[in-house]
Structure 1
Amino acid sequence: MVESVPPNAAENEPERPEENGPTTPEGADSARPSESGDGSSSEAGGARRKADDKKHRSFWKELPILIVVALVLAFVIQQFLGRVYMIPSGSMEETLHGCPGCTGDRILVDKVTYHFTDPAPGDVVVFRGPQAWVEDDPPTDSGNPVVQFLQNVGSVFGLAPPDERDFVKRIIATGGQTVECCDDNRVVVDGRPLDEPYVYWEGGEREQAEFGPVTVPEGTVWVMGDNRNNSSDSRYQGGGGPRGAVPVENIIGKARLIVLPPSRWDVVSDHDPQQHGATALGAPASPPEVPWGVGLVAAWPAARLAG
């Protein structure tokens, strides 16, 4: 059965959407936010400004933290891996500059080496003065805690002289060896004269003072300055003899590089004076342990820290 269609069916039928899309009811535009109106632009701009302000505030909040972290890292590296020291005296001329009126060398001291190897003849080392060396020295610490703190920080970063109870010398003999002077103006270890091309004669006087023989106690080293006649070292400290030797445990590290001033960039020589052979006969010495390229790369951060 076919259902009849009412004659007014077309009039009751709902309006169909137009082919190009739905018809917007009158007044609908006023209910929608305008995409190009002033309201949306100001809201978006305000949001961007708030985001920028937040970023700026975040940066200034994080900056002190970054500075503190950088300082802590630098401090840890210099305390446990390598530290910059300033040479305050002329006892190691001309290997290391510390002469009156000149710019003292800043040297990078390797603190890791002696965890794996023993100190050896020819090594230039920085060490804490043993009791026999410093027992008669007056206190060097400032009574002002602020000044003391700044001095300690400055010495850690190579900006101020190190503690006056820290020394830099060259190892001449090790525990169990017998050292004395002189054989034809040469220091003798275990009866054999040393080959010392690094010795500097300040003032032109080329005569060494006699001493010994001294048997170096086990667990210590005998140290002397390259500026042979202007160095207070194992020959004189503690009254000389075995008391002048330095305990191995007092050694802070091995001097590797001169990092400042730039005109003095170089590897610190560790020529073994007890090496009797090609070097002693005048043949070229063996190349330095640290290649130039590696040395410069390693020195750069420390030089920057030292200012």
Structure 2
Amino acid sequence: MASKAEKPDGIMETVKTVFWALLIAGVFRTLFFQPFWIPSGSMKDTLLIGDFLFVNKMAYGYSRYSCPFSACPFSGRILGSEPERGDVVVFRHPVNGNDFIKRLIGLPGDKIQMKDSVLHINGQAVKIEPAGVFTETYERQGSAGTFPRCSNNPGVGGVCEKTRATETLPNGVSHDILDITKQAQDDTGVYVVPEGHYFFMGDNRDNSTDSRFPQNAGGVGYVPFENIIGRADRIMFSSAGKSLFYFWTWRSDRFFKAVQ
């Protein structure tokens, strides 16, 4: 009889354990760090497809997008601090609701323009220095199985090349950018960033749908401060395969690597 009496107690203990575990995980994800997989090549070579990182939600404070399903019960932003130019940021797309990760290029009031593939901020060209060639194998990448874009024409299994340069922003932040080919977004008009909004670009400049593209054309456009979720500080894990369980595709040199 004792064993039968103990069964419901055991089930209740399990339910309580699962409940508290989920609650703690939810609080951790809401207040501190959110996991994020890199699904595309728009931020190469800073971030590669298959990189796994935690987004620092404490960096800029909290908005309704800080909670899962955008369920935080307030509008605006609390405990907010301004993001800095050059930060790698995860934000909620203003229209389609997907999470994006890009580099913050333009602050409120800035004038942003691309001229002959060179970024101009408030009328001044940023410093660009050649940094060799970025290479990767021309093969399907990630769970989506897409091929990378290349400046050359390799066959499957060949070496895919992109020109690499180091770009230095006005506040001294330096990062690598990639160039594939000449295209329309290499020469643009002037974007004037509205107050309370930010302008984002991918480091893989010719393979990034970002603020250079308007929202009504499938782009990101200007992103409201409220839509910013957090800052990407460090890559925790990286896998070049379709699944993290393919241990032979793990990139051990990227484990715990700082995002710059």
Question: TM-score normalised by the shorter chain: which range applies?
Answer: 0.5 to 0.7
Question: What's the RMSD between the two structures over aligned residues?
Answer: 2.8
Residue 185 of structure 1 and its aligned partner are, at CA, apart by: 3.5
| Selected match of 1:114 from 56, 60, 76 | 60
Report the Cα offset of residue 174 of structure 1: 0.5
Report the number of matched residues. 179
2:15 partner SS: helix
Q: What amino acid is the match of 2:177?
A: V
Q: Summarize deviations over 1:228-265 as a string: whole Å, max 9, x none.
A: 0000111113268xx82111111111111211226222
Superposition pairs for residues 229-268 of structure 1, below 5 Å?
A: 229-238=206-215, 244-261=221-238, 263=252, 264-265=254-255, 266-268=257-259
Dislocated runs of 4+, deviation >4 Å: 52-60
Q: 2:110 aligns with which of 171, 177, 185?
A: 177
Q: Which one of the candidate residues 124, 131, 134 is aligned to 2:88?
A: 124
The alignment's TM-score, normalised by the length of structure 1, stands at 0.52
Q: Distance in 2 between matches of 1:76 and 1:110?
A: 14
**How do 1:1-307 residues align onto structure 2 when only pairs under 5 Å count?**
61-98=12-49, 104-115=50-61, 116-131=80-95, 134=96, 165-182=98-115, 185-195=117-127, 196=167, 197-201=175-179, 204-205=180-181, 209-238=186-215, 244-261=221-238, 263=252, 264-265=254-255, 266-269=257-260
Q: Whole-Å Cα distance in 1 between the matches of residues 216 and 190 of structure 2?
A: 14
Secondary structure at 2:43's aligned position in 1? coil
What 5-or-longer segments of structure 2 have no aligned partner? 62-79, 128-166, 168-174, 239-250
**TM-score normalized with structure 2 length:** 0.61
Q: Match for 1:267: what amino acid?
A: A
* 1:73, distance to aligned residue in structure 2 (A): 0.6
- Structure 1: which 5+ residue stretches go unaligned? 1-49, 99-103, 135-162, 270-307
> Which amino acid in 2 is paired with 1:189?
I
1 or 2 for the larger relative contact order (CA 8 Å, sep ≥6)?
Answer: 2
Give 1:58 deviation, angstroms. Answer: 5.1
- Relative to total residues, which structure has the larger strand share, 1 or 2? 2
Identity level (%)? 37
Give, as a single letter, the amino acid of the residue that structure 1 aligns with 2:88.
V
- Residue 281 of structure 1 is matched in structure 2 by none
Q: For residue 82 of structure 1, report the CA deviation from its aligned partner.
A: 1.1
Question: Which residue does 1:287 correspond to in 2?
Answer: none
Counterpart residue identity of residue 187, structure 1: L
More helix by share: 1
Higher Cα Rg, which structure: 1
Instruction: Write the letter of the residue equivalent to 1:186.
Output: V
